[in-house]
Copies of this chain bind each other. A is one copy, B any other.
Amino acid sequence: MTDHAYNINIDTDTSTHAEPLASWQDGPTKRAILKFVQQVTDKSSSTYVPVAERIAAFDNDGTLWCEKPSYTQEIFIIKYFHEQAERHPELREVQPFKAFLENDRAYFQALSIQEVGKLVLQAVADLPQEEYVQKVRTFFEETLHPHYQRPFTEMAYAPMMELIGYLRQHEFQVYLVTGGETDFVREIAEKMYGIPRSHVIGSAVMVKLETYHDQPMLVRQKSMLEPFNEGTGKVVNIHVHIGQQPILAVGNSNGDLDMLLYTEHQSRPHLPLLIHHDDSEREFAYERGAERALQAATLHDWNIISMKNDFKHIFSFAQIDATYSVHQ
């Protein structure tokens, strides 16, 4: 196992804080979270939920880390394509290479996240699993976020890290339920969020067991395992991987809506939460791709996490400078 030179300084251990969720502003959302955790952990209450059923599901892109201006995985693949094109210049004229290389945003905006995901996965097919993992690690070691000029591993939302730590303190099992490709996300989940590989439920690539020099080896295939982990796919994969409903789920887009609905409809206490990207100063303000989710949150009276109003600071590195702005 390679040792990584990640430069992470995110504190998910809240046990040392006198006040829980200190990086959250006081308000209805913070109060709802504290009340919910109190309810499900109070043994004397009818709202008590046994430890084995305390499942929390978090989306990743836009929920735990920044997804703008592009998904990290998209940036990874563009970099990979550039490397490929250096070796095989003829690829520059072939789609989707051309679009990736020329950063043709119109090309991608016409595609669903699912379609982009499939392009990405096919691009890194036929690689031995170990080789792919090494490419992902190198990417995270070498590449900076285009706007913040920080390693991607520093792009976690600090209040969400604190929330994960707080839930874990109360014996929740925390799962990452991401549209991203499982093995890509696994390379940062443990280090950034303390989420083990087995708790990353993503869009999964088919692997094939091949024999190379008498050693069995996993090789990545072009096909994906159904269902793609967005929308109802998240519900199916939660059922397949975990086998029970989360009692708390957090998302930020239409692709998380089914997971939130699935969390809502049960006899146990439950807390669906939707992050609203409304902070144009400290992060990015956008509702594109979250329209149906925001509508449902209002209709169902879910707590909406306002990044502007509920988060005292957004990133750990920004904590030292409260006036930090992406646009400065």
Contact = CB atoms under 8 A, between A and B. Distances in A.
Interface of A: 52, 129, 173, 182-183, 186, 196-198, 200, 204, 206-209, 215-216, 218, 225-227, 232, 235-236, 239-244, 258, 261-262, 265
B226 A262 contact: no
A196 to B, nearest CB: 6
A266 B198 CA distance: 19
Contact of A198 (B173, B207, B235): B173
A235 B218 contact: yes
A207 B262 CA distance: 13
A235 B216 CA distance: 10
A258 B216 CA distance: 9
A236 B265 contact: no
B243 A197 contact: yes
8 contacts: A52-B196, A182-B240, A204-B240, A207-B240, A216-B258, A216-B265, A218-B235, A225-B240
Contacts of A129: 239
A208 B182 contact: no
A209 B236 CA distance: 8
A206 B228 CA distance: 12
A195 B105 CA distance: 47
Contacts of A244: 197-198
Contacts of A226: 206, 225-226
A132 to B, nearest CB: 12
Nearest to A224: B226
**Among A186, A218, A240: residue with most chain B CB under 10 A:** A240
A243 B200 contact: yes
Contacts of A196: 52
A84 to B, nearest CB: 25
A227 B221 CA distance: 13
Contacts of A200: 243
A258 B209 contact: yes
A73 to B, nearest CB: 17
Given A173-B198, A197-B244, A209-B235, 16 more contacts: A183-B243, A186-B243, A197-B243, A198-B242, A198-B243, A207-B235, A207-B239, A207-B240, A208-B232, A208-B236, A209-B236, A216-B262, A216-B265, A225-B225, A226-B226, A241-B241
**Among A186, A209, A241: residue with most chain B CB under 10 A:** A209
A261 B186 CA distance: 24
B265 A197 contact: no
Contacts of A240: 182, 204, 207, 225
Contacts of A204: 240
A237 to B, nearest CB: 9
The 3 closest A-B pairs by CB, nearest first: A197-B243, A209-B232, A204-B240
A129 B226 CA distance: 19
A102 to B, nearest CB: 34
Contacts of A239: 129, 207, 218
A53 to B, nearest CB: 9
Contacts of A183: 243
A243 B182 contact: yes
